């Protein structure tokens, strides 16, 4: 499935479109029971995701309900439309945005969304500077999201300005359209765990409107190491045993500190990309290298002592 990314001029709205190949439920391979594994498609879609077991289980529950609802319709029983609005709570680099993008495609494939496009917005895209502008801007974003997923990271920023701030108007507009268009789009609000909890306490009617609240936990050391090896492999590199050992020890120290700004998988990506650059300089200066040298990142390539900036 081809995808296209558009960024609107003077805006942070990020839109990803999928080919609009509408498939009838009864004809879709995604909705057929499979003899050995009825969840094969979901397993394949999330096969590269390290951890996230609870998330995968939740998606399987949604998928199973869709399939069984179709079977119930076939024999004249009532089926229930699922409201799929979600809250994602997690620190940076735990996969919130990546998963939201994946869900847009998956829900389209499951015939739950008519377009399956993904729109990422932030406070500036929703909140205006004068009375009436906020509701207008928020409605416009929602209209763009109809048939797809609207993802708002750091959602609590909508409530940061106090009583005179127009952010509350954006929240009220979102809530109204969550009800009016509950089966036409999926709203996902995301952010740091503590701030999201505070945001929900300040807006007590909000939590009940999100049937799915998912916690994106910080990655464990072994998971971070697997992510590092996976990212290296995607670029056709490998880590030497020495590099793995050094990275494991480094990550153990980093996760023990668990500083607020530790960026989990994003940190690993920076480590791998930095190592590749150091590796290239090292080989160029050597001016002789084997095929293995071109593949393997060594402990010295990692330069972990210099990574405080990340």
Residue 264 tokens read as 């989990």
Please list the residues that pair with 150 across neighbouring strands: 119, 187
* Predicted pLDDT of residue 162: 64
Residue 141 tokens read as 């974003």
Nearest-angstrom CA–CA distance, 94 and 106: 19
CB 104 within 8 A of CB 118: yes
Q: What is the residue extent of each domain of the chain?
A: 3-216, 221-309
* Predicted pLDDT of residue 290: 96
Closest residue by Cα to residue 96 from 120, 123, 117, 65: 120
Nearest-angstrom CA–CA distance, 115 and 184: 10
Please list the residues that pair with 151 across neighbouring strands: 120, 188
CB 151 within 8 A of CB 100: yes
Closest residue by Cα to residue 42 from 25, 26, 29, 24: 29
Q: Is the dihedral of CA 215, 219, 223, 229 positive or negative?
A: positive
* Predicted pLDDT of residue 166: 87
Side-chain-side CA neighbours of 179 within 13 Å: the count stands at 9
The CATH number assigned to the domain with range 221-309 reads 1.10.8.60
Nearest-angstrom CA–CA distance, 12 and 141: 12
Nearest-angstrom CA–CA distance, 202 and 180: 23
Q: Which residues contact 102 (CB under 8 A, 6 or more apart)?
A: 45, 46
How buried is residue 24: exposed, middle or buried, by Cβ count under 10 Å (0-12/13-18/19+)?
Answer: exposed
Q: Which CATH class is domain 3-216?
A: alpha beta
Nearest-angstrom CA–CA distance, 131 and 161: 15
* Predicted pLDDT of residue 18: 58
109 alpha carbon, distance to own chain's centre? 17
pLDDT tens-place values along the chain, 310 residues long: 444 444 444 455 666 665 555 444 444 454 444 456 788 888 888 989 998 888 889 989 988 988 898 899 899 998 777 899 999 999 999 999 999 999 999 999 888 999 999 999 999 999 988 888 999 999 999 999 999 999 999 999 998 766 667 888 999 999 999 988 888 899 999 999 999 998 988 787 888 999 999 999 999 999 999 999 999 999 999 999 999 999 999 999 888 876 667 889 999 999 999 999 999 999 999 988 999 999 999 999 999 877 655 5
């Amino acid at each position: 499935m081809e995808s296209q990314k558009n960024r609107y001029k003077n805006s942070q709205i990020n839109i990803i479109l999928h080919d609009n190949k509408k498939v009838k439920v009864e004809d879709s391979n995604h909705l057929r029971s499979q003899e050995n594994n009825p969840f094969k498609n979901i397993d394949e879609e999330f096969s590269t995701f390290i951890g996230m077991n609870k998330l995968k289980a939740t998606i399987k529950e949604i998928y199973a309900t869709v399939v069984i609802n179709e079977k119930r319709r076939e024999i004249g029983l009532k089926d229930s439309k699922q409201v799929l609005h979600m809250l994602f709570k997690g620190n940076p680099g735990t996969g919130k945005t990546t998963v939201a993008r994946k869900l847009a495609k998956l829900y389209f494939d499951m015939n739950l969304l008519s377009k399956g496009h993904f729109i990422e917005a932030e406070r500036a895209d929703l909140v205006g500077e004068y009375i009436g502008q906020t509701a207008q801007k928020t409605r416009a974003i929602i209209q763009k999201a109809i048939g797809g997923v609207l993802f708002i990271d750091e959602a609590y920023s909508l409530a940061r300005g106090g009583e005179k701030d127009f952010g509350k108007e954006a929240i009220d507009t979102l809530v109204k359209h969550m009800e009016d268009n509950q089966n036409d789009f999926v709203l996902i609000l995301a952010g740091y765990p503590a701030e999201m909890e505070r945001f929900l306490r300040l807006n007590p009617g909000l939590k009940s409107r999100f049937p799915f609240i998912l916690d994106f936990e910080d990655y464990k050391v072994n998971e971070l190491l697997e992510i590092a090896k996976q990212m290296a492999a995607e670029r056709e590199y490998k880590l030497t045993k020495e590099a793995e050992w050094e990275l494991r020890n480094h990550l153990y120290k980093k996760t023990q500190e668990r500083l607020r700004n530790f960026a989990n998988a994003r940190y690993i990506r920076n480590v791998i990309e930095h190592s590749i650059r150091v590796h290239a300089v090292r080989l160029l200066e050597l001016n002789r290298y084997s095929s293995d040298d071109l593949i393997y990142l060594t402990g010295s390539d990692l330069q972990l002592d210099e990574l405080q900036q990340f």
